[in-house]
Structure 1
Amino acid sequence: MLIAIPDLLDAATLANVRAIIDAAPWVDGNVTSGHQSALAKRNEQLPEDGAAAREAGKIVLDALAASPLFFAATLPLKVFPPLFNRYGLGQTFGTHVDNAVRVQRGRDFRVRADLSVTVFLEDADRYDGGDLVIEDLFGEQRVKLPAGHAVVYPSSSLHRVTPVTRGRRVASFFWLQSMVRDDAARRILFDLDRSVQSVAAVRGNDDADVIRLTGVYHNLLRRWADA
């Protein structure tokens, strides 16, 4: 399931994040790569244990916590601290699959990577190329969203970032472990949640059908979730 999260960061929050990360030193992006990724990855990254990454990452995490759409789409159990990367002219990340388990450096914290998240931090008209290309059963999905928007997609999918041909692509990226491991089950719960919200907006939360559908949602979540 591929879901866009519009306006995860508002303009003021986005400007704050950019001020923090733009003033920080950057390193080779392969500091967090697995063996396969290192062969295909050409970009720069903020050191994950640096003060800038921690400060900007907390801002992103606070925005996630305030987004009902993000919660409904992902049902997060554990979120890997956000990382930050940028792609200059000619830089790219070839086709790869994200590691199944991500371990935070220097800490006993690990996340099963069910879902990958990219938060776009550069206006789309300020760079060419740099598309996030995700392969699924219906073919390639190309994603290039406005600054402040995010996209969530299965970590198990083949994906890549096309070469940047003008400007610079800047983003935050991270992984999360969902309470519901199965992607199809998460999709059912997401669709049901959105439908419940739509019916409730018309009939009210005290409507008998809304209450019944809400019960169905929570009973399915109870059946499928690990918490």
Structure 2
Amino acid sequence: MLLHIPQVLSRDEVAALRTELAAHDWVDGVRTSGPQAAGLKHNLQFPADSPAFAGLSQRVADALARHPLFVSAVLPRHILPPMFNCYSGGGRYGNHVDNALQRDRFSGLQVRTDVSTTVFLSEPDEYAGGELIIEDTYGEHEVKLAAGDAIVYPATSLHRVEPVTEGARIAAFLWSQSWVRDAWQRKLLFDLDMNILKLRGQLGDSEEVLGLTSTYHNLLRQWSE
């Protein structure tokens, strides 16, 4: 499931993050790549060993964790610390699939990456190019969102970032392990949850709405791990 989540961060939150990120040095993104990705990745990354990293990362993680659409779509069991990257001057990232297992740099816990998330921190008119291209069974999807908005998609997806030919594209990116491993099951639960919310707004806590809510939680109980 590919889902656009609006206003994860407010304009003020984006501006504060951008100001603090700009006050520190960035490093070559290849430093965080495996040997296969190293030849494809041409960007800068905010260093995780910076004293400022933990606080900035936590602000993005907290914003996602309190956004109801993110919680409903991802059903996060573990959110890996968000990181930050910057593409400019032709920077790009060729077609790749994210690593299936990653280690939380703070807790040391090894986490299965079920869902990828990008939170845009630059407005679309601040840079040319830089589209996130995500491939699935329905073809290619081009993503370029407003600052503060996020896109979530299965971490199994082949994806890339097109070259940035003008300006700079700054974003936060992260992975989550879901309580529900299967992407199709997560989509069914999300669709059911959204329809329950709509029906509840129309009918209140009617017998039918309560029955569907019960079905949702029983499916979640059946599919969660």
Give the TM-score band, short-chain normalised.
over 0.9
Matches within 5 A, 1:101-120: 101-105=101-105, 108-120=108-120
Which amino acid in structure 1 is aligned with residue 209 of structure 2? V
> Runs of 4+ in structure 1 displaced over 6 angstroms?
none
Tell whether 2:220 aligns with 1:221. Answer: yes
Give aligned-pair identity as a percent. 49
Separation in 2 of the partners of 1:63 and 1:105? Answer: 19
Deviation of 1:218 (Å): 0.1
Taking the aligned partners of 1:4 and 1:106, their CA distance within structure 2 comes to 28
Instruction: Give the alignment of 1:7-26 within 5 angstroms.
Output: 7-26=7-26
Letter in 1 for 2:221: R
Partner of 1:179: 179
Deviation at 1:225, TM superposition (A): 0.4
Q: Report the CA distance between 1:15 and its aligned residue.
A: 1.1
Give, in whole Å, the separation in 1 of the partners of 2:201 and 2:48.
42
- Which position in structure 2 is the counterpart of 1:147? 147
The correspondence of residues 1-227 of structure 1 with structure 2, limited to 5 A, is 1-105=1-105, 108-204=108-204, 206-226=205-225
Query: How far did 1:35 drift?
Result: 2.0
For 1:214 and 1:74, the matched residues in 2 are separated by 18
1:53: Cα distance to partner?
Answer: 2.0
- Structure 1 gap ranges (5+): none
Corresponding residue SS for 2:194: helix
CA contact under 8 A between 2:119 and 2:149: conserved in structure 1?
Answer: yes
Q: Which amino acid aligns with 1:79?
A: I
> Please, what TM-score do these two structures have when normalized by structure 2?
0.97
Moved more, 89-98 or 101-110: 101-110
Does the 8 Å CA contact 2:81/2:105 hold for their aligned counterparts? no
Could you tell me how far apart the structure 2 residues matched to 1:92 and 1:108 are? 30
Per-residue displacement from partner, 1:22-65 (whole Å, max 9, x unpaired)? 11110010222122211200000011132222111111111112
CA distance in 1 between counterparts of 2:43 and 2:159 reads: 15
Offset of residue 73 of structure 1: 0.5
Compute the TM-score of the two structures, normalised by the length of structure 1. 0.96
1 CA distance for matches of 2:106 and 2:21?
22
1:107 offset after TM fit, Å?
5.0
Alignment partner of 1:148: what SS? coil
- Deviation at 1:106? 7.0
**Residues 53 and 82 in structure 1, CA contact (< 8 A), matched pair in contact too:** no
SS in 2 for 1:98: coil
Q: How many residues align?
A: 225
